[in-house]
């Protein structure tokens, strides 16, 4: 979609890691909690900085990971310009960004626009190099471009889990030849050509056809009835949903009805490929995301695959106000919706290579934290809970200890939902470990 006094992470003698306890199905891939961050390299090139909830400057992608995001979505344009807002996203840049995300443990989705810039319900412009091509040549163009980009990713060690063949193709792609309302068969042939190219690179990749307005069942039936009639090949039905703070509960309900209808009518899995809301309505956005994630997980037959926020990292950027970042460079509370457990621990600043450690394991069932810590030198040690403002809200333990490894359990009952930190103070310094109560 196109839209014209902090905690110190430094600890000389303590090494901390996170254990996230969450049940995973052995029969299906984990639910995708995603973010499209295709603008991020350009924001970074202009000097934008990103800060975690404690005000510590960090890699934006690490901040997203610490908020539960497990998948990165990247758009690809054919021959883009160098315009900071409406260009880039070339094959080479996509490979670089995909490698960066994959190295941090993210799953990958690739979104082909089949244009030199934005493709969406209002514009599906042919790339300049394809402008004179008829439908037969365009079918070949789609195959060759799709294969070329994915083969380059594969050569770099990246196999995307999902690939979109087109972006918000409400009325087809590559107008006028591929306009669905003029010739649904041509659009279906373009979809199938893209799918064939994807499968030729790796048959395990799931192919998505992506339509906006996920609440509009009539639109989806028209498009996917047409694709079915013309024997289009694809795996997943993707949706966009951009509700406002005043209508989100209605639209997410309609979206769920539509998702279940797509599963039963066409036998396809479904996914929310884009979602967003005004950053100034952060609490409403969090409530909406929590509801949408829950509804998508509830789709019949476990056929709801995931939810992706579109460009959450944007702040003070090109007039785009549907991100999930405050103007101070910190994420809004909306991102906490992706922390999908009752009690979730996650790192404040990553691992530090030092002799000891502080580790937290979250037990959502018991509403408790198990805190593991190693004392490096004999002396006074204290464990406490502080809120995001740095105010101490509970003292867990305070005593003198000899060198060794210790375990303490703390019950979270009575604490309001929100972000907190377990603080450990010892002769070696201070460490913080972040967790969230939902």
What does the pLDDT average to over 320-343?
87
264 confidence band (pLDDT: 50, 70, 90): very high
- pLDDT in the model for residue 318: 93
Least confident of 1-15, 29-43, 227-241: 1-15
The partner residues of 379 in beta bridges, in order of sequence, read 401
- Positions annotated as catalytic residues are 168, 274
What does the pLDDT average to over 370-390?
79
What's the whole-number average pLDDT of the chain?
A: 87
β-pair type (71-76, 107-112): parallel
388 confidence band (pLDDT: 50, 70, 90): low
Spatial separation of the C-alpha atoms in residues 423 and 397, rounded to whole Å: 11
Spatial separation of the C-alpha atoms in residues 250 and 266, rounded to whole Å: 24
Confidence check: pLDDT of 19 > 50: no
Confidence check: pLDDT of 39 > 80: yes
Helix spans in 89-155 (H):
91-103, 135-155
Task: Please give the backbone phi and psi of residue 409, each rounded to the nearest 5 degrees, phi first.
Answer: -110, 135
Q: Which helix (H) or strand (E) holds 238?
A: strand 236-241
Contact criterion met (CB below 8 Å) for 412 and 365: no
- Closest residue by Cα to residue 308 from 236, 373, 377: 236
Q: Is the pTM of this model over 0.75?
A: yes
Confidence check: pLDDT of 9 > 60: no
- pLDDT in the model for residue 382: 86
Contact criterion met (CB below 8 Å) for 148 and 140: no
Q: Is the model more confident about 9 or about 78?
A: 78
Confidence check: pLDDT of 362 > 70: no
8-state DSSP, 235: S
Q: For tokens 């929310």, name the residue.
A: 272
- pLDDT in the model for residue 398: 86
Domains and CATH numbers, the chain: 29-339 (3.20.20.80), 345-437 (2.60.40.2550)
């Amino acid at each position: 979609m196109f839209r014209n006094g902090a905690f110190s992470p430094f600890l000389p003698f303590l090494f901390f890691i996170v254990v996230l306890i969450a049940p995973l199905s052995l029969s299906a891939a984990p639910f995708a909690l995603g973010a499209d961050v295709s603008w991020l390299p350009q924001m970074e090139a202009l000097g934008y900085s990103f800060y975690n909830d404690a005000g510590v400057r960090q890699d934006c992608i690490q901040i997203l990971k610490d908020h539960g995001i497990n998948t990165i979505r990247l758009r690809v344009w054919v021959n883009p310009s160098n315009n900071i807002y409406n260009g880039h996203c070339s094959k080479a840049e996509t490979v670089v960004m995909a490698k960066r995300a994959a190295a941090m443990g993210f799953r990958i989705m690739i979104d082909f626009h089949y244009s030199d810039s934005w493709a969406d319900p209002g514009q599906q412009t042919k790339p300049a190099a394809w402008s004179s091509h008829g439908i037969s040549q365009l079918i070949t163009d789609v195959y060759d471009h799709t294969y070329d980009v994915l083969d380059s990713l594969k050569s770099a060690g990246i196999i995307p889990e999902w690939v979109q063949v087109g972006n918000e193709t409400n009325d087809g792609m590559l107008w006028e030849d591929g306009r669905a309302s003029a010739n649904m068969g041509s659009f279906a042939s373009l979809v199938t050509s893209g799918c064939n190219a994807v499968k030729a690179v790796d048959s395990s990749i799931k192919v998505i056809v992506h339509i906006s307005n996920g609440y509009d069942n009539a639109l989806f039936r028209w498009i996917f009835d047409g694709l079915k009639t013309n024997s289009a090949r694809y795996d997943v039905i993707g949706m966009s949903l951009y509700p406002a703070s005043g209508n989100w509960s209605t639209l997410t309900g309609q979206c769920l009805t539509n998702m279940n209808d797509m599963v039963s009518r066409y036998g396809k899995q479904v996914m929310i490929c884009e979602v967003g809301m005004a950053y100034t309505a952060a609490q409403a956005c969090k409530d909406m995301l929590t509801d949408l994630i829950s509804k998508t997980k509830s789709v019949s037959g476990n056929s709801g695959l995931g939810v992706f926020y579109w460009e959450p990292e944007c702040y003070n950027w090109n007039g785009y106000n549907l991100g999930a970042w405050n103007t101070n460079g910190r994420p809004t509370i909306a991102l906490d919706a992706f922390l999908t457990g009752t009690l979730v621990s996650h790192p404040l600043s990553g691992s530090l290579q030092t002799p000891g450690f502080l580790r937290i394991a979250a037990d959502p069932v018991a509403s408790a934290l198990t805190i593991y810590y190693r004392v490096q030198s004999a002396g006074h040690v204290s464990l406490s809970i502080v809120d995001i403002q740095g105010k101490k809200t509970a003292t867990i333990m305070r005593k003198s200890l000899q060198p060794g490894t210790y375990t303490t359990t703390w019950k979270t009952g009575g604490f309001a939902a929100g972000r907190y930190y377990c603080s450990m103070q010892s002769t070696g310094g201070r460490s913080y470990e972040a967790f969230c109560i939902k």
